[in-house]
């Protein structure tokens, strides 16, 4: 691998490391919020969860959905908590008490130091509810909705125009043309309330969607001047025992991003637009969706246990690799939200009334968030290839480098399940670099997981410091591993 400052991709927008809190399962209730929990603060938020959220380091959190937002009345979540209605949430067939609404979420966001990214309901609602919400959140006062809020404006900058409206499962599912018109008119009204906001139009719910490609072209064809980003969602899992394909799924993310960028730039050319539409990859993760597929007729419950996937070392390596893919596209992917933050396909798990702990996937995410800041450099790589059933021939090594004043950090994944790999890094273009530290996520048992009984079974380990000699560094990447090599 050759790392050279000339191979510049772009600056990392810190929002690339975002997360997602949906009113789904136990993400909000018994996840971030649990009055009566031994660690609850005066507002009912769990301090143990909050501490882990701060450690994770996500700078922006998308809220309140997800599929949930497409049936949500945000007005149910304001005013005295005791007077708020309990509603049936159709997305997850759950009881929504509305004890947490936008005001509570903002209090929590300030406590943990994250910026909110707000989604509006374009499933069952539309222009009026969306522009009222912007008025409620962002105007200083002197109008009906802003006076109801009271206190300082929330100043929410980034807004999603609905969620996954291309999906037949979505409440208020639309054709691309139907969505595009509604998104455009809603965007215009929201911006008339607050011209400083940034807007994300819904892209496809996944690369496998039958309308993928034409959906983006139609939506951006209509909304191009009114929006700033198009969204992408992507979830990955191991199918059967095909671990090699799973370990290579970041190649699918790479192709998906390239295709959305190409589509957005096609619309740009056709419409003679000058600005570029960037990407908000606002839902991504490992999600064992096939396990959830049977659960279509859920019991109606409050804060049910929903999609509480437990992540292994292998899953953590894949999460690290997906982050490498996002970084590689830092010139166009400006926002990323790992779905989700707590309990629901999450990096952080909690027990009601009990402990909070880090999943294995917490670690590559927290380390990349912390050290992957600066300018992304695409290394020139020559690596052995191998054949996978789902993605064809892929390299066994995937890597990216990030340069900052502190030096260069290389994030690298060895996709071989059996063989360690010796990585030679040519650093001659960066002669000031002289020392290195190697952190790894790998295990003799690639299925090892963290649990409430054993919360630190999977943690990052430091290996022997590699030597930098004559502008070259050599380091051994264990089989099936995610690696961070900090060179200064």
Q: Which residues of this chain interact with ligand AHR, rule CB under 6 A?
A: 22, 24, 65-67, 163-164, 205, 283, 339-340
Residue 204 CB, shortest distance to ligand AHR, in Å, is: 11
Cβ atoms 33, 45 nearer than 8 A: yes
As measured in angstroms, the least distance from the Cβ of 340 to ligand AHR is: 6
Q: Which of 340/369 has CB closer to ligand AHR? A: 340
Angle between helices 127-138 and 176-193 (to 10 degrees): 30
| 170/483 with CB nearer ligand AHR | 170
Residues 6+ apart with CB under 8 A from 207: 234, 252, 255, 256, 259
Decide: 466 and 486 in contact? Cβ < 8 Å.
Answer: no
Q: How far is the CB of 460 from ligand AHR (least distance, A)?
A: 26
Residue number, 43 or 290, with CB nearest to ligand AHR:
290
25 contacts 344 by C-beta, under 8 angstroms: yes
Find the shortest distance in angstroms from Cβ 288 to ligand AHR: 12
The smaller minimum CB distance to ligand AHR, of residues 151 and 168, is found at 168
Nearer to ligand AHR, 251 or 343 (CB): 343
Minimum CB separation of residue 347 from ligand AHR in Å reads: 13
Q: Contacts by 415-419 with C-beta closer than 8 Å and gap 24+?
A: 415/244, 415/247, 415/248, 415/321, 415/386, 415/480, 416/386, 416/479, 416/480, 417/243, 417/244, 417/247, 417/446, 417/479, 417/480, 418/479, 419/479
- 424, exposed or middle or buried, with CB in 10 Å at 0-12, 13-18, 19+? exposed
Nearer to ligand AHR, 35 or 206 (CB): 206
Whole-number minimum distance, CB 169 to ligand AHR, in Å? 7
436-441 sheet: strands from edge to edge: 8-11, 375-377, 397-404, 407-414, 481-487, 436-441, 461-463
Q: 198-201 and 158-161: which strand pairing?
A: parallel
Selected catalytic residue, list 22, 96, 216, 283? 283
Q: How far is the CB of 87 from ligand AHR (least distance, A)?
A: 17
- Is 259 a residue of the active site? no
Query: Is 307:298 a contact under the CB 8 Å cutoff?
Result: no
Distance CA 445, CA 440 (A): 14
Beta carbon nearer to ligand AHR, 104 or 283: 283
Task: Specify the residue, 199 or 345, whose C-beta has the smaller distance to ligand AHR.
Answer: 345
Among candidate residues 93, 11, 17, the one with its CA nearest the CA of residue 320 = 17
Residues 17 and 98: their CA atoms lie apart, in Å, by 28
Q: Closest residue (Cβ) to ligand AHR?
A: 66
Count CB atoms within 10 A of the CB of residue 472.
Answer: 12
- Asked about 164 being catalytic, the answer comes back as yes
Smallest distance, Å, CB 380 to ligand AHR? 36
Give the residue among 195, 268, 192, 194 at the shortest CA–CA distance from 230: 268
C-alpha span between 27 and 305 (Å, rounded): 9
The residues, any chain, with a CB within 8 Å of residue 75's CB and separated by 6 or more, are 129, 132
Q: Determine which one of 164, 185, 198, 454 is catalytic.
A: 164
Residue of 339, 343, 426, 340 whose CA lies nearest to 379? 426
Short-list 123, 93, 124, CA closest to 296: 93
CB of 306 to ligand AHR, least distance (A): 9
Of residues 212 and 224, the one with the C-beta less far from ligand AHR: 212
Tokens standing for 40? 């609850």
In this structure, what token pair is assigned to residue 484?
Answer: 């961070």
CA 100 → CA 45, 156, 340, 352, distances in Å? 10, 18, 17, 17
Give 254's strand partners.
none
Active site residues: 164, 283
């Amino acid at each position: 691998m050759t790392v050279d400052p000339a191979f510049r991709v772009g600056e990392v927008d810190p929002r690339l490391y975002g997360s997602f809190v949906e009113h789904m399962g136990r993400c909000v209730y018994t996840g971030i919020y649990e009055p009566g929990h031994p660690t609850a603060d005066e507002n009912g938020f769990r301090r143990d969860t909050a501490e882990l959220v701060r450690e994770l380091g996500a700078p922006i959190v998308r809220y309140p959905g997800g599929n949930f937002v497409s049936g949500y009345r945000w007005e149910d979540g304001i005013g005295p908590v005791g007077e708020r209605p309990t509603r049936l949430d159709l997305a997850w067939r759950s009881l929504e008490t509305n004890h947490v609404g936008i005001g509570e979420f903002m209090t929590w966001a300030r406590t943990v130091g994250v910026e909110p990214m707000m989604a509006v309901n374009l499933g069952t609602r539309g222009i009026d509810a969306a522009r009222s919400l912007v008025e409620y959140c962002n105007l200083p006062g002197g109008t009906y909705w802003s006076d109801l809020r009271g206190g300082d404006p929330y100043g929410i900058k980034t807004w999603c125009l609905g969620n996954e409206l291309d999906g037949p499962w979505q409440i208020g599912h639309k054709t691309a043309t139907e969505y595009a018109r509604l998104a455009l008119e809603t965007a215009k009204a929201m911006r008339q309330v607050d011209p400083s906001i940034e807007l994300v139009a819904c892209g496809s719910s996944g690369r496998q969607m039958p309308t993928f490609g034409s959906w983006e072209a139609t939506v951006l064809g209509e909304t191009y001047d009114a929006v700033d980003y198009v969204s992408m969602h992507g979830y990955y899992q191991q199918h059967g025992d095909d671990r090699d394909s799973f370990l290579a799924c970041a190649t699918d993310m790479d192709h998906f991003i390239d295709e959305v960028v190409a589509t957005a730039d096609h619309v740009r050319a056709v419409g003679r637009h000058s600005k570029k539409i960037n990407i908000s990859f606002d839902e991504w993760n490992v999600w064992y969706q096939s396990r959830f597929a049977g659960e279509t007729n859920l019991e109606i419950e409050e804060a049910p246990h929903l999609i509480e996937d437990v992540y292994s070392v292998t899953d953590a390596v894949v999460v690290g690799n997906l982050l490498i893919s996002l970084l590689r596209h830092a010139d166009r992917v400006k926002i990323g939200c790992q779905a989700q933050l707590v309990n629901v396909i999450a990096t952080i798990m909690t027990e009601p009334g009990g402990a909070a702990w880090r999943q294995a996937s917490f670690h590559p995410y927290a380390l990349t968030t912390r050290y992957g800041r600066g300018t992304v450099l695409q290394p020139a790589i020559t690596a052995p290839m191998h054949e996978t059933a789902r993605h064809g021939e892929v390299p066994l090594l995937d890597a990216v480098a990030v340069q900052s004043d502190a030096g260069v950090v290389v994030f690298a994944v060895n996709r071989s399940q059996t063989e360690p790999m010796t990585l030679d890094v040519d650093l001659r273009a960066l002669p000031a670099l002289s020392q290195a530290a190697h952190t790894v996520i790998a295990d003799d048992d690639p299925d090892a997981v963290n649990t409430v009984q054993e919360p630190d079974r999977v943690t990052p380990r430091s290996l022997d410091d590699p030597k930098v000699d004559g502008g070259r560094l050599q380091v051994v990447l264990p089989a099936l591993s995610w690696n961070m090599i900090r060179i200064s």
